[in-house]
Amino acid sequence: MSAGAVADLFQRSFGAAPAVIASAPGRVNLIGEHIDYNGGEVLPIAITSRTFVALGPSGGSRSRAVSREETTAGEFVNADGMPAGAWWDYVHGALRQAGCDAPVAIAVASDVPVGAGLSSSAALEVATVLAAWSWRDVPWTPDSVAMAAHRAERDFVGVPCGIMDQYASACARADHALRVWCDDARTAFVPFDRDVLIVDTGDPRHLRSSAFADRRQSCEAALRVLQEASPGVRALAHADPQLVAAALHGESLRRARHVVSEQARVHRVVEALARGEPLGALLLDSHRSLRDDYECSSPRLDWVVEWAMTRPEVDGARLTGAGWGGCAIAVGDRGALRDVATALATAFEARWGPAPRTWITGAGDGARREG
Ligand code: GLA
C-alpha cells in the first residue's frame, strides 16, 4: 500500500487532491499480553503493513469516508451522532477526539488485515488523528496522537481496551520494539532486529469482545481483593506474586497469576534482547500461561505454537493480541522464517482445512505524515 494509492482513491471519489495524507501501522505484541489494562509494561512492535488516510475539506455539511477495502461509504457529522456499527466509526471517533469539527472527505487504503487481531482499528484511528491534526497545523507528538486514538476506541467505539495498540501504531520505530509503561504511558525503544512470522488461525472472533470484558472484570475484582489485604497495591501487574498466591483462589488466582508472571516475563525478555540471549522459553511460557491461566487461547493457536516450536529456526512462539482466535507469532533471525512459513501453512491446511494467511515482518515504523 502507498500514499499514491490513497491519493488516487481520494481523487476518484471526491474529484480533488487531498490536503494531507498520513499513515499508521498495525502491530503485534512480542510479550506482555493482557497487561496494558492491568497497569504494567508491554513490548509490541509495529508491523510493516500500514493504513493510509487521505483527508481534505468535504464541501458539504457532513463528513464522507470511503475505503479501498470496503464497499460501503460513510457519512456523518463529526461532533454529533452515535457509532453506526460500521468501519467508519473509527474515523468518526478519531475526528471527534481530534477536535476536528469541520466536515471532511476521507479516503482510506490499507494492507493491515482486518479481523485478525493485528490492530487494524488502531491503525485507522491513529492515521485519522494524525491526518486531521496535520491538516489544521495542530502541534502533535506520537504520544498525543496515541492518546486521542485510544479515546476514540474506548469512548466512541466503546471497546474497553488498554493503550497498547494505539501506542504501538503511533509511537513505534523501525528495528525496535516499543516498551510501554501502561500506568503512566512512558515509552522506551528496545533494539529488535529479528523477523516475526505471523499466522492467522482464522478462528471466528465472535467470543472475543465479551470474553475480553469478562477478563477485565475478573482482574479488577482480583485487584480489589489484593488491595483489601495490602492497600499499597496500585495495579494488578505490580502485585507481589506471593500475595497473589496467598490472597486469591480458583479462577481469580489463575487470572492474576497470569498477569504477574507475564509482567515478570516482559522484564526478562527486555534483558534477553539486550544480551542477545534466546527468547524461546519465555515466549512459550507466556503462551502456556495465556492458555492455562488466562484461558484465552484456542486449539488452532495451541497447534500453531507447538508446531512452530519444533523448528530449529524458531526462537519462541505464542499467541499475540487478545487471543480467543486471531494470530500466533514465531520469532526467528532475519531471513530465516520463509521455509517455516511455507511448511507451517501446508501442515496447518492438512490438519485444519484452508491454509492460513501468513506474513513475515520486521519491526516497522510508527505513524507518519506522508504528504
Ligand atoms: C487487545 C486490546 C489491547 C490488549 C490486548 C491484550 O489487543 O486492544 O489493549 O489488552 O488485547 O494484550
- pLDDT per residue as tens, the chain (371 positions): 899 999 999 999 999 999 999 999 999 999 999 999 999 999 999 999 999 999 999 988 999 999 999 999 999 999 998 999 999 999 999 999 999 999 999 999 999 999 899 999 999 999 999 999 999 999 999 999 999 999 999 999 998 899 999 999 999 999 999 999 999 999 999 999 999 999 999 986 665 677 999 999 999 999 999 999 999 999 999 999 999 999 999 999 999 999 999 999 999 999 999 999 999 999 999 999 999 999 999 999 999 999 999 999 999 999 999 999 999 999 999 999 999 999 999 999 999 999 999 999 999 999 999 97
Residue with CA closest to ligand 1 atom 9: 162
pLDDT of residue 327: 96
C-beta neighbour count of 90 within 10 angstroms: 27
Ligand 1 pocket test: which of 30, 34, 90, 320 has the largest number of ligand atoms within 8 Å of its C-beta?
34
Q: Map grid coordinates 500466533 to a residue.
A: 328
Catalytic residue among 165, 200, 285, 315: 165
Contact 54, 18 (CB under 8 A): yes
CA-35 nearest atom, ligand 1: 12
Q: Which stretches within the chain are classed as H helix?
A: 3-14, 89-97, 120-135, 142-151, 164-171, 208-229, 241-247, 250-275, 280-292, 299-309, 338-352
**Distance (Å, rounded) from C-alpha 185 to C-alpha 236?**
16
Q: Determine whether the shortest distance from the Cβ of 162 to ligand 1 is under 6 A.
A: yes
Contact 195, 333 (CB under 8 A): yes
Nearest alpha-carbon partner for 186 in 45, 46, 322, 40: 40
203 is catalytic: no
- Which three three-digit cell numbers place residue 294? 488466562
Interval between CA 325 and ligand 1 midpoint (Å): 13
**Distance (Å, rounded) from C-alpha 221 to C-alpha 128?**
35
Burial class (CB in 10 A: 0-12, 13-18, 19+), 249: exposed
pLDDT of residue 207: 57
The DSSP string of 169-197 is HHH--TTEEEEEETTTTEEEEEE---EEE
Contact 156, 93 (CB under 8 A): yes
Q: Map grid coordinates 486471531 to a residue.
A: 326
**Distance (Å, rounded) from C-alpha 236 to C-alpha 228?**
13
pLDDT of residue 210: 78
Interval between CA 354 and ligand 1 midpoint (Å): 27
Interval between CA 164 and ligand 1 midpoint (Å): 7
Interval between CA 7 and ligand 1 midpoint (Å): 31
Ligand 1 pocket test: which of 36, 208, 329 has the largest number of ligand atoms within 8 Å of its C-beta?
36
- Which three three-digit cell numbers place residue 146? 496515541
